Amino acid sequence: MEHVLKDTFPTLDARAALAGKHILLTGATGFLAKVVLEKLLRSVPDVGGITLLLRAGRNGADARARFEREIATSSVFDKLRAERPRWLERFFADKLDCVTGEVTQAAFGLPLDAFAALARRTDLVINAAASVDFREALDAALAINAVGVLNVAALARAAGAPLIQVSTCYVNGYRRGDMHERQVEPSRGAIPRHPDGHYDLSRLLERLQHRIEEIKEQCADPQLRARRLTELGIAEANYYGWNDSYTFTKWMGEQLAMRAMRGRALTIVRPSIIENTLREPAAGWIEGVKVADAIILAYARGKTSFFPATPGAVIDIVPADLVANSIVLAGAEALCDGAGRRIYQACSGSRNPVLLGTLIDLIQTEARRNWRHYERLFYRAPKRDFRVVSRAAFLLMLRALGAGLGLWSGARRLLGAGPSPALQALRTTQTLAQTFSFYTAPRCRFHNDALMALARRFGDGARFPVDPALIDWPDYLCRVHMGGLNRYALRDRPAPAAPYPQAEPGIGAGTLDIQSS
């Protein structure tokens, strides 16, 4: 059974619990893990040390070289660089270790003596490594999000250390209603449940691996093989009750973590849709284009003006710093309380909900009034209103517009003109809908009662805020979110600007960033 917190537990001190401890963090090249790393450095300066497990770079660069190039230079450390530059430099040199390894390989691909040495110096493991592509090929998604968890758990067991597994609220899949911080049952299909509470995936993994090998043998063309593996992942996810291979394999990762850490300290932290930081290390900090941003960016560039969604539904967005604080508190608790399985959801939908229609109205109003303030986001004033429609109406509009624009595009080609910009915009809309519509038409509401009870246990909890009630949605969605997107995530406008500029990297990529590889 999941651990249920009571307010009668003794007060904890997060800084004291983490002081002198050595933490292994995976996924540090990603958005969320960078916020976790920065928070640990700034708020727990007495931490014993931090080890980053990073795969080798494509050019053969080792973990340290990747850290210096991709992490140490990040603007997430600007506050520390301004306030304590020498301390930060010394920490990176003396207390931050980088290990070149691969979470998808047993012992991370390290020699056994090196793996054992890593285990001996590890007190806490935070696994934030994952593939966050919603339409990832099934073999890749399984390797990182599911099987890779077993390799991380093997280190935690060898070290006798708690494991903090970063998951996602959307492991709840197609289920409807109130989603609490507990084990998730598949809404479809039949997967046997172990007496210890987790689901036994042995036969499922064996069958999926067999299907993957069949496709690899049948498809010599790499593009066809990748497409078939992506289609397999979506089909299997849908069959068992999940929208995509990301959420399906993240749920599998939870089950494998429960199996591997049976009788030991395991905490699963499930964020909802992670967006810009609320306050720390700077309001609006973000890296890359996330879920809502991909749709906002397409609208800003004239690539789409309608989308399938439910305006009256709660869209669950949570700032990255609240998620990072949840992870830090979960780690401190696990070090103090020891063995036990705990699940926390970092979310806003139950405590400070915002409706999707409200989000659209706020952003659209801000865009009309102040689009010049966001020069990287808006190249010109928005010309059309952004509309949301039912899924049935959306499909009808796609068919009607697609037929008309297809004829027009064919006529343009005959006349020697380029592709129809309107048809390109329609295809962008269709791609965005395929990738994100599940998240913009939610049928459930996530609760975080256990996380809030956890925060109340800490005497220094104000240093690690997790309460979504702190979010002022009009200010956050406009000044913080759009300002941060403009400042941190986007490049300067290309020159000269094309009449219909191409979308920024990230449009249609299918990333919900809870954690990164």
Q: Which domains does the chain have, with CATH numbers?
A: 14-489 (3.40.50.720)
Q: CB–CB of 61/482 below 8 Å?
A: no
346 three-class SS: strand
Residue 300's pLDDT band, with cuts at 50, 70 and 90, is confident
Instruction: Give the closest residue to 137 by CA, choosing from 249, 28, 31.
Output: 249
Percent of the chain at pLDDT > 90 equals 68
Question: How do 124-127 and 49-54 pair as beta strands?
Answer: unpaired
At 387, give phi and psi (nearest 5°).
-115, 145
Cβ within 8 Å of residue 305, ≥6 positions away: 299, 384, 385, 386, 387
Band (188; pLDDT cuts 50, 70, 90): confident
Question: Could you tell me what percentage of the chain is helix, strand and coil, using 3-state DSSP and rounding each to the nearest 5?
Answer: 50, 15, 35
CA angle in degrees (0–180, nearest 5) for 40-152-266: 70
Averaged pLDDT for residues 319-348: 97
Q: Residue 86's pLDDT is what?
A: 96
Distance CA 274, CA 263 (A): 31
Render pLDDT for 46-56 as a digit per residue (tens, 0 to 9): 999 999 999 99
Q: How far are the Cα atoms of 228, 467, 508 from residue 135, in angstroms, in the given order?
A: 11, 31, 10
In terms of pLDDT, which residue wins out, 411 or 342?
A: 342
Q: How much is the pTM?
A: 0.88
pLDDT recorded at residue 392: 59
Tokens in use for 222?
A: 């790499």
> Where does 105-259 show beta strands of DSSP type E?
124-127, 163-166, 177-179
Q: How far apart are CA 288 and CA 488, in angstroms?
A: 8
Residue in this structure with the two tokens 């850290």, named with its chain if needed: 67
- Pick from 325, 289, 353: nearest CA to 486: 289
**Nearest C-alpha neighbor of 53 from the set 154, 140, 137:** 154
How far is residue 364's CA from residue 295's CA, in Å, rounded to a whole number? 12
d(CA 136, CA 320): 23
Q: What local confidence, expressed as pLDDT, does residue 98 receive?
A: 97
- Residue range 333-358: mean pLDDT, rounded: 95
**Are the CB atoms for 485 and 285 separated by under 8 Å?**
no
Helix (H, G, I), strand (E, B) or coil at 509: coil
Read off the pLDDT of residues 231-271 as tens digits, 9 standing for 90 and up: 999 999 999 999 999 999 999 999 999 999 999 999 999 99
